[in-house]
Amino acid sequence: MNKDLFGNDYNINFQLPKGKYKIFRYKNNYKLSDNEKKCKNCINSVCVKGYTKNYYKCKLQGIASSETSDIRLRNVCDLWEK
Protein backbone atom coordinates (compact mmCIF):
# COMPACT_ATOMS: atom_id res chain seq x y z
CA MET A 1 0.00 0.00 0.00
CA ASN A 2 1.04 3.54 -0.69
CA LYS A 3 0.36 6.60 1.42
CA ASP A 4 -1.13 9.79 0.01
CA LEU A 5 -0.37 13.36 1.13
CA PHE A 6 -2.60 13.01 4.17
CA GLY A 7 -1.24 9.63 5.29
CA ASN A 8 -4.19 7.60 4.02
CA ASP A 9 -3.58 4.25 2.33
CA TYR A 10 -4.39 3.91 -1.36
CA ASN A 11 -3.77 1.29 -4.00
CA ILE A 12 -2.44 2.04 -7.49
CA ASN A 13 -4.06 -0.16 -10.12
CA PHE A 14 -3.20 1.90 -13.20
CA GLN A 15 -2.36 0.02 -16.40
CA LEU A 16 -1.54 1.29 -19.85
CA PRO A 17 -4.28 0.78 -22.42
CA LYS A 18 -4.00 -2.42 -24.44
CA GLY A 19 -3.38 -2.26 -28.16
CA LYS A 20 -0.79 -0.58 -30.34
CA TYR A 21 -2.98 2.36 -31.40
CA LYS A 22 -4.44 3.02 -27.95
CA ILE A 23 -0.95 3.11 -26.42
CA PHE A 24 0.22 5.51 -29.18
CA ARG A 25 -2.72 7.82 -28.47
CA TYR A 26 -2.20 7.69 -24.71
CA LYS A 27 1.54 8.44 -24.87
CA ASN A 28 1.10 11.32 -27.34
CA ASN A 29 -1.82 12.98 -25.52
CA TYR A 30 -4.38 12.45 -28.30
CA LYS A 31 -7.45 14.50 -27.38
CA LEU A 32 -10.14 16.85 -28.64
CA SER A 33 -8.61 20.08 -29.93
CA ASP A 34 -9.65 23.47 -28.61
CA ASN A 35 -7.79 25.63 -31.14
CA GLU A 36 -6.65 25.61 -34.78
CA LYS A 37 -4.25 22.70 -34.24
CA LYS A 38 -6.23 19.70 -35.49
CA CYS A 39 -5.48 16.44 -37.24
CA LYS A 40 -7.33 17.95 -40.20
CA ASN A 41 -4.45 20.45 -40.65
CA CYS A 42 -1.61 18.06 -39.78
CA ILE A 43 0.87 16.97 -42.42
CA ASN A 44 0.75 13.37 -41.12
CA SER A 45 -2.99 12.80 -41.68
CA VAL A 46 -3.95 10.70 -44.69
CA CYS A 47 -7.32 10.07 -46.33
CA VAL A 48 -7.94 6.45 -47.35
CA LYS A 49 -10.83 5.99 -49.76
CA GLY A 50 -13.29 3.22 -48.95
CA TYR A 51 -16.19 1.95 -51.02
CA THR A 52 -18.71 4.38 -49.56
CA LYS A 53 -16.73 6.40 -46.98
CA ASN A 54 -13.40 8.10 -46.46
CA TYR A 55 -11.25 6.91 -43.56
CA TYR A 56 -8.61 9.17 -42.02
CA LYS A 57 -5.36 7.69 -40.72
CA CYS A 58 -2.14 9.01 -39.18
CA LYS A 59 1.18 8.15 -40.83
CA LEU A 60 2.96 8.21 -37.47
CA GLN A 61 0.84 5.48 -35.89
CA GLY A 62 0.73 3.40 -39.05
CA ILE A 63 -1.87 2.88 -41.74
CA ALA A 64 -3.91 -0.29 -41.42
CA SER A 65 -7.32 -1.46 -42.58
CA SER A 66 -8.51 -1.59 -38.97
CA GLU A 67 -11.12 0.66 -37.40
CA THR A 68 -8.87 1.22 -34.40
CA SER A 69 -6.30 3.02 -36.55
CA ASP A 70 -8.84 5.66 -37.67
CA ILE A 71 -8.36 9.19 -36.38
CA ARG A 72 -10.81 12.04 -35.84
CA LEU A 73 -10.03 15.19 -37.76
CA ARG A 74 -11.14 17.43 -34.87
CA ASN A 75 -8.61 15.89 -32.46
CA VAL A 76 -4.91 16.62 -32.01
CA CYS A 77 -1.83 15.00 -30.43
CA ASP A 78 1.58 16.25 -29.29
CA LEU A 79 3.17 15.25 -32.62
CA TRP A 80 1.12 17.73 -34.65
CA GLU A 81 3.01 19.35 -37.56
CA LYS A 82 1.90 22.04 -40.02
- 35-54, pLDDT tens digit by residue? 999 999 999 999 999 899 99
Q: 8 in a domain, yes or no?
A: no
Q: What is the pLDDT of residues 11-40, one digit of tens each?
A: 777 677 888 889 899 899 999 999 999 999
pLDDT above 90 coverage of the chain, percent: 48
Residue 3 is assigned to a structural domain of this protein: no
Q: H or E element: which one contains 2? A: strand 2-3
Q: How many CB atoms lie within 10 A of CB 23?
A: 13
Give residue 57's pLDDT: 94
Domain range enclosing 23: 15-76
Q: Which residue has the higher pLDDT, 78 or 13?
A: 78
Domain-embedded: residue 44? yes
Which pTM was predicted?
A: 0.74
Count of domains in the chain? 1
